[in-house]
Amino acid sequence: MSSLLDEIKTGVIPKHIALIMDGNGRWAKQKNQPRLFGHQQGAIAVRETLKGAILCGVKCITIYAFSIENWNRPKDEVEGLMNLFIKACEEELPNLQENKIAFKVIGNLSLLNQECLTSLRKVEQATANNTNLLLQVAISYGSRWEITNAAKNMVTDILANKIDLDNINEELFGQYLLTDPNNDPDLLIRTSGEYRISNFLLWQLAYAELYFTNCYWPDFTKEELWKAIADYQKRERRFGKTSEQITNNK
Protein backbone atom coordinates (compact mmCIF):
# COMPACT_ATOMS: atom_id res chain seq x y z
CA MET A 1 0.00 0.00 0.00
CA SER A 2 1.19 3.50 -0.82
CA SER A 3 2.81 5.32 2.12
CA LEU A 4 1.04 8.54 1.09
CA LEU A 5 -2.29 6.74 1.43
CA ASP A 6 -1.29 5.46 4.90
CA GLU A 7 -0.27 8.99 5.87
CA ILE A 8 -3.48 10.72 4.79
CA LYS A 9 -5.62 8.02 6.41
CA THR A 10 -4.34 9.15 9.81
CA GLY A 11 -5.83 12.64 9.20
CA VAL A 12 -9.21 14.15 8.34
CA ILE A 13 -10.40 13.03 4.90
CA PRO A 14 -12.54 15.59 3.01
CA LYS A 15 -16.04 14.17 2.66
CA HIS A 16 -16.74 15.91 -0.64
CA ILE A 17 -14.22 16.85 -3.34
CA ALA A 18 -15.13 18.96 -6.38
CA LEU A 19 -12.97 18.60 -9.48
CA ILE A 20 -12.40 20.92 -12.43
CA MET A 21 -10.84 18.50 -14.90
CA ASP A 22 -8.89 20.91 -17.08
CA GLY A 23 -6.13 20.41 -19.64
CA ASN A 24 -7.43 17.56 -21.80
CA GLY A 25 -6.96 19.56 -25.01
CA ARG A 26 -3.44 20.74 -24.16
CA TRP A 27 -2.46 17.23 -23.07
CA ALA A 28 -3.62 15.86 -26.44
CA LYS A 29 -1.90 18.65 -28.38
CA GLN A 30 1.41 17.86 -26.67
CA LYS A 31 1.04 14.34 -28.03
CA ASN A 32 -0.04 15.48 -31.52
CA GLN A 33 -3.42 13.87 -30.95
CA PRO A 34 -6.95 15.24 -31.50
CA ARG A 35 -8.62 16.96 -28.54
CA LEU A 36 -11.11 14.13 -28.24
CA PHE A 37 -8.27 11.73 -27.45
CA GLY A 38 -7.53 13.95 -24.45
CA HIS A 39 -11.15 13.68 -23.30
CA GLN A 40 -11.06 9.89 -23.71
CA GLN A 41 -7.95 9.68 -21.55
CA GLY A 42 -9.69 12.07 -19.17
CA ALA A 43 -12.46 9.53 -18.70
CA ILE A 44 -9.83 6.96 -17.67
CA ALA A 45 -8.43 9.46 -15.16
CA VAL A 46 -11.95 9.81 -13.68
CA ARG A 47 -12.04 6.05 -13.08
CA GLU A 48 -8.60 6.13 -11.40
CA THR A 49 -9.61 9.09 -9.25
CA LEU A 50 -12.73 7.27 -8.06
CA LYS A 51 -10.62 4.28 -7.03
CA GLY A 52 -8.29 6.58 -5.12
CA ALA A 53 -11.24 8.31 -3.44
CA ILE A 54 -12.75 5.02 -2.29
CA LEU A 55 -9.42 3.78 -0.93
CA CYS A 56 -9.15 6.75 1.40
CA GLY A 57 -12.83 7.12 2.32
CA VAL A 58 -14.02 10.20 0.38
CA LYS A 59 -17.84 10.03 0.26
CA CYS A 60 -18.65 12.36 -2.65
CA ILE A 61 -16.92 13.54 -5.84
CA THR A 62 -18.42 16.22 -8.10
CA ILE A 63 -16.81 16.52 -11.54
CA TYR A 64 -17.22 19.33 -14.04
CA ALA A 65 -17.65 17.30 -17.22
CA PHE A 66 -19.29 19.90 -19.48
CA SER A 67 -20.10 23.50 -18.73
CA ILE A 68 -22.96 25.50 -20.24
CA GLU A 69 -20.24 27.58 -21.93
CA ASN A 70 -18.80 24.39 -23.50
CA TRP A 71 -21.83 24.28 -25.85
CA ASN A 72 -19.96 27.03 -27.77
CA ARG A 73 -17.08 24.67 -28.66
CA PRO A 74 -16.73 23.35 -32.24
CA LYS A 75 -19.64 21.09 -33.18
CA ASP A 76 -17.50 17.96 -33.64
CA GLU A 77 -15.94 18.34 -30.18
CA VAL A 78 -19.38 18.79 -28.56
CA GLU A 79 -20.69 15.73 -30.42
CA GLY A 80 -17.59 13.75 -29.47
CA LEU A 81 -18.08 14.61 -25.81
CA MET A 82 -21.78 13.67 -25.87
CA ASN A 83 -20.88 10.32 -27.45
CA LEU A 84 -18.16 9.86 -24.82
CA PHE A 85 -20.73 10.39 -22.04
CA ILE A 86 -23.06 7.83 -23.65
CA LYS A 87 -20.20 5.32 -24.03
CA ALA A 88 -19.00 5.93 -20.47
CA CYS A 89 -22.53 5.27 -19.16
CA GLU A 90 -22.60 1.90 -20.94
CA GLU A 91 -19.07 0.86 -20.04
CA GLU A 92 -18.85 2.12 -16.49
CA LEU A 93 -22.15 0.85 -15.10
CA PRO A 94 -20.73 -2.54 -13.95
CA ASN A 95 -17.78 -0.74 -12.37
CA LEU A 96 -20.10 1.68 -10.53
CA GLN A 97 -22.22 -1.21 -9.25
CA GLU A 98 -19.21 -3.26 -8.17
CA ASN A 99 -17.83 -0.33 -6.19
CA LYS A 100 -21.28 0.72 -4.90
CA ILE A 101 -21.02 4.19 -6.42
CA ALA A 102 -24.22 6.22 -6.84
CA PHE A 103 -24.31 8.38 -9.97
CA LYS A 104 -26.15 11.68 -10.25
CA VAL A 105 -26.20 14.32 -13.01
CA ILE A 106 -26.59 18.04 -12.35
CA GLY A 107 -27.04 20.77 -14.94
CA ASN A 108 -29.42 22.21 -17.49
CA LEU A 109 -30.33 18.82 -18.88
CA SER A 110 -33.01 20.23 -21.17
CA LEU A 111 -30.16 21.12 -23.57
CA LEU A 112 -28.95 17.50 -23.90
CA ASN A 113 -30.02 15.26 -26.76
CA GLN A 114 -32.48 12.50 -25.92
CA GLU A 115 -30.01 9.64 -26.33
CA CYS A 116 -27.51 11.18 -23.93
CA LEU A 117 -30.18 12.07 -21.38
CA THR A 118 -31.66 8.56 -21.50
CA SER A 119 -28.21 6.98 -20.92
CA LEU A 120 -27.48 9.26 -17.97
CA ARG A 121 -30.92 8.69 -16.38
CA LYS A 122 -30.53 4.93 -16.77
CA VAL A 123 -27.26 4.94 -14.80
CA GLU A 124 -28.76 7.27 -12.18
CA GLN A 125 -31.69 4.93 -11.63
CA ALA A 126 -29.60 1.76 -11.62
CA THR A 127 -27.13 3.10 -9.03
CA ALA A 128 -29.50 5.16 -6.86
CA ASN A 129 -29.24 2.88 -3.82
CA ASN A 130 -25.43 2.63 -3.78
CA THR A 131 -23.89 4.09 -0.65
CA ASN A 132 -20.10 3.81 -0.89
CA LEU A 133 -19.57 7.07 -2.78
CA LEU A 134 -21.73 9.62 -4.62
CA LEU A 135 -20.41 10.65 -8.04
CA GLN A 136 -22.08 13.88 -9.16
CA VAL A 137 -21.45 14.75 -12.78
CA ALA A 138 -22.02 18.36 -13.80
CA ILE A 139 -23.06 18.32 -17.47
CA SER A 140 -24.43 21.37 -19.28
CA TYR A 141 -23.86 23.00 -15.91
CA GLY A 142 -23.32 26.63 -15.01
CA SER A 143 -23.53 27.95 -11.48
CA ARG A 144 -25.11 31.28 -12.44
CA TRP A 145 -27.76 29.36 -14.37
CA GLU A 146 -28.33 27.08 -11.35
CA ILE A 147 -28.69 30.05 -8.97
CA THR A 148 -30.97 31.96 -11.36
CA ASN A 149 -33.10 28.87 -11.84
CA ALA A 150 -33.30 28.36 -8.07
CA ALA A 151 -34.45 31.98 -7.63
CA LYS A 152 -37.08 31.51 -10.33
CA ASN A 153 -38.44 28.34 -8.70
CA MET A 154 -38.46 29.99 -5.29
CA VAL A 155 -40.42 33.00 -6.56
CA THR A 156 -42.87 30.60 -8.22
CA ASP A 157 -43.41 28.93 -4.83
CA ILE A 158 -43.89 32.32 -3.14
CA LEU A 159 -46.51 33.32 -5.71
CA ALA A 160 -48.26 29.96 -5.21
CA ASN A 161 -48.25 30.58 -1.42
CA LYS A 162 -46.16 27.44 -0.86
CA ILE A 163 -43.51 29.41 1.04
CA ASP A 164 -43.52 32.74 2.81
CA LEU A 165 -41.23 35.62 1.83
CA ASP A 166 -40.35 36.12 5.51
CA ASN A 167 -39.03 32.56 5.78
CA ILE A 168 -36.41 32.94 3.06
CA ASN A 169 -32.91 32.39 4.36
CA GLU A 170 -29.71 30.72 3.14
CA GLU A 171 -30.86 27.31 4.28
CA LEU A 172 -34.14 27.52 2.38
CA PHE A 173 -32.47 28.94 -0.73
CA GLY A 174 -29.93 26.09 -0.66
CA GLN A 175 -32.80 23.63 -1.00
CA TYR A 176 -33.62 25.06 -4.43
CA LEU A 177 -30.16 24.31 -5.80
CA LEU A 178 -29.34 21.03 -7.55
CA THR A 179 -27.06 19.73 -4.80
CA ASP A 180 -27.70 18.53 -1.25
CA PRO A 181 -27.51 21.63 1.01
CA ASN A 182 -25.82 19.51 3.69
CA ASN A 183 -23.10 18.29 1.37
CA ASP A 184 -21.03 21.24 0.18
CA PRO A 185 -17.52 20.45 -1.14
CA ASP A 186 -14.70 20.58 1.41
CA LEU A 187 -12.02 20.74 -1.27
CA LEU A 188 -11.90 21.97 -4.87
CA ILE A 189 -9.14 20.67 -7.13
CA ARG A 190 -8.41 22.29 -10.49
CA THR A 191 -5.84 20.78 -12.81
CA SER A 192 -3.72 22.27 -15.63
CA GLY A 193 -2.31 25.33 -13.87
CA GLU A 194 -5.39 27.56 -14.29
CA TYR A 195 -6.54 29.53 -11.24
CA ARG A 196 -10.24 30.07 -11.85
CA ILE A 197 -13.58 28.74 -10.62
CA SER A 198 -15.19 29.03 -14.11
CA ASN A 199 -18.84 29.23 -13.02
CA PHE A 200 -18.64 25.97 -11.02
CA LEU A 201 -20.60 25.52 -7.75
CA LEU A 202 -20.25 29.21 -6.80
CA TRP A 203 -22.67 28.93 -3.86
CA GLN A 204 -21.55 25.51 -2.68
CA LEU A 205 -17.80 26.33 -2.69
CA ALA A 206 -18.21 29.22 -0.23
CA TYR A 207 -16.01 27.54 2.43
CA ALA A 208 -14.11 25.00 0.34
CA GLU A 209 -10.33 24.81 0.40
CA LEU A 210 -8.86 25.42 -3.07
CA TYR A 211 -6.06 23.33 -4.55
CA PHE A 212 -4.45 23.95 -7.93
CA THR A 213 -2.00 21.68 -9.72
CA ASN A 214 -0.12 22.03 -13.01
CA CYS A 215 -0.89 18.39 -13.86
CA TYR A 216 -3.12 18.05 -16.95
CA TRP A 217 -6.32 16.13 -16.20
CA PRO A 218 -5.44 12.96 -18.21
CA ASP A 219 -2.27 12.64 -16.10
CA PHE A 220 -4.23 12.86 -12.84
CA THR A 221 -3.85 9.69 -10.73
CA LYS A 222 -4.77 8.32 -7.31
CA GLU A 223 -1.45 9.69 -6.04
CA GLU A 224 -2.29 13.19 -7.36
CA LEU A 225 -5.59 12.99 -5.48
CA TRP A 226 -3.87 11.89 -2.30
CA LYS A 227 -1.31 14.72 -2.66
CA ALA A 228 -4.19 17.21 -2.80
CA ILE A 229 -5.75 15.62 0.29
CA ALA A 230 -2.39 15.76 2.13
CA ASP A 231 -2.24 19.49 1.32
CA TYR A 232 -5.84 19.95 2.51
CA GLN A 233 -4.94 18.31 5.81
CA LYS A 234 -2.35 21.04 6.44
CA ARG A 235 -5.00 23.77 6.17
CA GLU A 236 -6.91 25.16 9.14
CA ARG A 237 -10.59 25.54 8.29
CA ARG A 238 -11.91 28.38 10.42
CA PHE A 239 -15.33 29.14 8.84
CA GLY A 240 -14.90 32.78 9.91
CA LYS A 241 -13.87 31.94 13.49
CA THR A 242 -10.47 32.63 15.09
CA SER A 243 -7.69 30.07 15.24
CA GLU A 244 -8.05 29.93 19.06
CA GLN A 245 -11.76 29.16 18.82
CA ILE A 246 -11.03 26.28 16.46
CA THR A 247 -8.25 24.91 18.72
CA ASN A 248 -10.47 25.15 21.82
CA ASN A 249 -13.50 23.82 19.89
CA LYS A 250 -15.70 26.84 20.80
Active site residues: 22, 70
Minimum CB separation of residue 44 from ligand FPP in Å reads 9
Of positions 22, 184, 186, 209, contacts ligand FPP by CB under 6 A: 22
Of positions 8, 17, 18, 21, contacts ligand FPP by CB under 6 A: 21
Q: Which range touches ligand FPP (CB under 6 A), out of 5-13, 39-47, 95-103, 165-173?
A: 39-47
Q: In the complex with ligand FPP, which residue's Cβ is closer, 22 or 224?
A: 22
Minimum CB separation of residue 61 from ligand FPP in Å reads 11
Minimum CB separation of residue 26 from ligand FPP in Å reads 3
Minimum CB separation of residue 99 from ligand FPP in Å reads 15
Site for ligand FPP in 154-193 (CB under 6 A): none
Site for ligand FPP in 79-118 (CB under 6 A): 84-85, 88
Query: Residue 15, interface with ligand FPP (CB under 6 A)?
Result: no
Query: Residue 42, interface with ligand FPP (CB under 6 A)?
Result: yes
Cα distance between residue 49 and residue 105, in whole Å: 18
CA distances to 69, 104, 153, 154, 245 from 174, in Å: 23, 18, 12, 10, 27
Site for ligand FPP in 199-228 (CB under 6 A): 217
Of positions 9, 15, 26, 51, contacts ligand FPP by CB under 6 A: 26
DSSP letters, the chain, are: --HHHHHHHTSPPPSEEEEE---HHHHHHHTT--HHHHHHHHHHHHHHHHHHHHHHT--EEEEEEEEGGGGGS-HHHHHHHHHHHHHHHHHHHHHHHHTTEEEEEES-GGGS-HHHHHHHHHHHHHHTT--SEEEEEEEEE-HHHHHHHHHHHHHHHHHTTSS-GGG--HHHHHTTSSS-TT---SEEEE-TT----TTSSTTTTTT-EEEE-SS-GGG--HHHHHHHHHHHHTS---TTS-HHHHHTT-
Query: Residue 120, interface with ligand FPP (CB under 6 A)?
Result: no
Q: In the complex with ligand FPP, which residue's Cβ is closer, 192 or 204?
A: 192
Q: Where does this chain bind ligand FPP (CB under 6 A)? A: 21-26, 39, 42-43, 46, 65-66, 70, 84-85, 88, 137, 217
